[in-house]
Amino acid sequence: MFDKIHEHEQVVFCNDDKTGLKAIIAIHDTTLGPALGGCRMQPYKSWEDALEDVLRLSKGMTYKCAAADVDFGGGKAVIVGDPATDKSPELFRAFGQFVESLNGRFYTGTDMGTTTEDFVHSLKETNCIVGVEEEYGGHGDSSVPTALGVMYGIQATSQMIWGTEDLSGRNFSIQGLGKVGEKIALRLIEEGANLYVTDINPQAVDAFLSRAKSMGAAVKAVEEHEIYSADADVFVPCALGGIINDDTIPQLKVKAVAGSANNQLLDIRHGRMLMERDILYAPDYIINAGGLIQVADELYEPNKDRVLRKTRAIYNSLLKVYQQSREEGITTVEAANNYCEQVIQNRRYQNSFFSHMKRPKWAVRT
């Protein structure tokens, strides 16, 4: 793990006895701008587990920001604690003070185990908080641009496989009908697609089925484990990570996997297994970047059109990745990572030219 620490610009351990705060902030790379990444709260078994998670996630954010063309670098924070029992307003204020001590090098917001309400407390100590509700200066529900970006990604995937963006008559299997999955499912119905859906929450399934019925759509609900073998053209994972693995890949009948879930591949080698089965994989951090694009846009006055325009670019980014993967015989994840490393390297070169100039305004945001 200590090898990985040397890949990072800065790692900050945060302890506050009064509030019980134990957290780690990792800044991986600020070539593209100040680090941006959510703050997870989880009852990690040890500091080592927390450190491993934050190092991995912050590096992932560097790539995600590069792919989404936002003026941020990669960072992440983890709070060690049980979200159900260990939260308090004081704890999140203390966390805000640590974020503030980084003087604009790190921006954060919600992630697993934390909510926008938690960060309203942090906002009292620092302005480096993004993604809160509109009444607190945020830009609102990020699942809207996330779902839209996934739809552009599905169209790009369709273009790559079938030479058309037309989704009518195609079959999609959707795992998870939450904030993002439901929006994608409704858009696919509007496009004339047929759906298999599943969710561990029966109410979410029932609500969706009655909505789909009123739209005259062809939708079949299946059991949780049946979604992998559904007779679909595209699998759209919108729930958990790690669902593309040794058990599920042999079950897939689809030609593509394109959905919003984070960390879909259990392991990087599963990208190659998909390729060997001729299943096109849309790298998750590219296709699900719509929410990040909206959050990053909070540096400026709200402008939904700008967010939508940048989200639309997911279509071309994915096509480039697909083409590079095909030309070079590498997986789409390898192609995506190469593309991001190139973006960062180019910016390093430009930064070395302009290093005599002042850093842009976000560096001194008050």
Residues that bind ligand NAD (CB under 6 A): 142-143, 146, 175-181, 198-201, 204, 224, 238-240, 260-262, 288, 291
Indicate the residue among 238 and 344 with the shorter CB distance to ligand NAD.
238
Indicate the residue among 32 and 295 with the shorter CB distance to ligand NAD.
295
3-state SS, the chain, equals CHHHHCCCCEEEEEEECCCCEEEEEEEEECCCCCEECCEEEECCCCHHHHHHHHHHHHHHHHHHHHHHCCCCEEEEEEEECCCCCCCCHHHHHHHHHHHHHCCCCEEECECCCCCHHHHHHHCCCCCCECCCCHHHCCCCCCHHHHHHHHHHHHHHHHHHHHCCCCCCCCEEEEECCCHHHHHHHHHHHHCCCEEEEECCCHHHHHHHHHHHHHCCCCEEECCHHHHHHCCCCEEEECCCCCCECCCCHHHCCCCEECCCCCCCECCCHHHHHHHHCCCEECCHHHHCCHHHHHHHHHHCCCCHHHHHHHHHCHHHHHHHHHHHHHHHCCCHHHHHHHHHHHHHHHHHHHHHHCCCCCCCHHHHCC
Indicate the residue among 98 and 107 with the shorter CB distance to ligand NAD.
107
Find the residue with minimal CB distance to ligand NAD.
178
Strand order in the sheet with 280-281: 219-221, 194-198, 171-175, 234-237, 256-257, 280-281
CB of 183 to ligand NAD, least distance (A): 8
Indicate the residue among 14 and 189 with the shorter CB distance to ligand NAD.
189
Residue among 22, 59, 64, 76 flagged as catalytic:
76
361 has catalytic annotation: no
Indicate the residue among 104 and 140 with the shorter CB distance to ligand NAD.
140
How far apart are alpha carbons 105 and 35 in whole angstroms?
6
The answer to whether 192 touches 168, Cβ cutoff 8 Å, is yes
Q: How many other C-beta atoms are found inside a 10 Å radius of the C-beta of residue 359?
A: 14
CB of 349 to ligand NAD, least distance (A): 30
Indicate the residue among 288 and 325 with the shorter CB distance to ligand NAD.
288
Indicate the residue among 96 and 181 with the shorter CB distance to ligand NAD.
181
CB of 136 to ligand NAD, least distance (A): 18
What's the distance, Cα to Cα, between the start and end of the chain in Å? 35
Active-site residue numbers?
76
